[in-house]
Chain A
């Protein structure tokens, strides 16, 4: 069982809908990540939160809006998505910076998103 929980597992939405992806971990990790993965391509980093502050935004379109309400939760709010945004969205966490900066990332199972 993965220690990073993502919901929902599957999501189908229209281009005018608003929905959210959720990610939760209880390992005490202080860094959390969103990745986008298209078929047969590597995961691409979208956002990183470090100690609940947005640390990296990889020039992601504003129709994706991340939120980190507390150290255990990470959300990705979706609005007015395009068909090309259909992909697997992976959440990950890691311990944090300093002496923990070279710890591995722990991934969830992902949300499979389809935009109609």
Chain B
């Protein structure tokens, strides 16, 4: 059974703090790693699709890095805002099939 682990499970920060969380995945048979943001009562929204070891992607104040050899990805949020409050999910893809294996998510709450 393939395991995708995310840590921490939840995180409370003050507005303006920078924060980061981790996604761990099997380091063999890597194909792609996805990050999604899921706000309450909305649909999951794609942030990044990462495919190459050493990839770094950025979208506004959010960035992500990828290490396929050791099997982890970090998501960073610079200067957190209350609207960043959401659950951040990573999803691992091991081959060219369509199957994504999701982690349980990191729930971020940004206090004003």
Contacts and interface: CB of A to CB of B under 8 A. Distances in A.
Partners in one complex: yes
Interface of A: 2, 4, 31, 33, 40-45, 48, 50, 55-56, 58, 90, 94, 97, 101-110
Chain B CB within 10 A, most for which of A41, A42, A50: A42
A101 B96 contact: yes
A6 B97 CA distance: 24
A110 B101 CA distance: 18
Interface residues on B, range: 20 to 34
Contacts of A90: 43-44
B43 A55 contact: no
A4 B43 contact: yes
B94 interface: no
Nearest to B44: A107
Interface string B73-112: 0000000000000000100000011111111110000000
Contacts, number: 56
Contact of A45 (B41, B96, B99): B99
B49 to A, nearest CB: 5
Nearest to A48: B98
A102 B51 contact: yes
24 contacts: A4-B43, A31-B98, A33-B98, A42-B102, A42-B103, A42-B105, A43-B89, A45-B99, A48-B97, A55-B98, A56-B98, A56-B99, A90-B43, A101-B96, A102-B49, A103-B49, A104-B36, A105-B34, A106-B46, A107-B43, A107-B45, A108-B43, A109-B42, A109-B43
